[in-house]
Structure 1
Amino acid sequence: MCIFCKIANKEIPSKVVYEDEDVLAFHDLNPQAPTHVLVVPKRHITGIGHAVPEDEIVLGRLLLAARRVAEETGIAESGFRTVINHGANAGQTVFHIHVHVLGGRPMAWPPG
């Protein structure tokens, strides 16, 4: 079982920002911005490149939860970035799809 599955199953503690029946959002242990929250589905999906049509609803819920995280952490008005990495070359280190919600500072472009 992957680390995000263990966090979603409450086997590993986390600092939860938002939770519903399908998703869990928690603070990243290695933040890259003043606010850095990860939003994960409770059901394991390896990455966006492995999503199937049956995942459509949970993928939408991930993005709506990201918006809610931005609101609840106070970064919605000033702006925030959402990031989904897929694969090692893109920087994915935990192979369970997750949305990074980053904010609290200006974001440069292009990233990486």
Structure 2
Amino acid sequence: MFRVTRLAVPVLALIMAADPAVAQDPPLCAASSDTARTAAEVIAAVAEHQCPPGSRLRAAMTVAGQAVVLQRSGICAPESVRTMTIRPTPDTRALDTRALGFTCILATR
């Protein structure tokens, strides 16, 4: 059986802290929303809320082309852009609205 020493616990904590798989997600930008918006509306919301660089932005885009506009605007770090499916909520299901989910890490400006 293994014997745990007093030194083992701090060493394990350091190993886990250095592991990128254990890293925490960056804080969510206050401009994030699952309400479908255009790229211009999302950019204005990021400026209004003064979201810091390195924070995570989550947005629902009205059409896929708006996600491309947002991606090319330079507001996001290029390697951090991800798209996802946003499922309709009970409130929006009756309207048959669908949106493309978009998430990224805000770039330094």
Q: TM-score range by the shorter chain?
A: 0.3 to 0.5
Query: TM-score, normalising length from structure 2?
Result: 0.37
Greater helix proportion = 2
TM-score by length of 1: 0.36
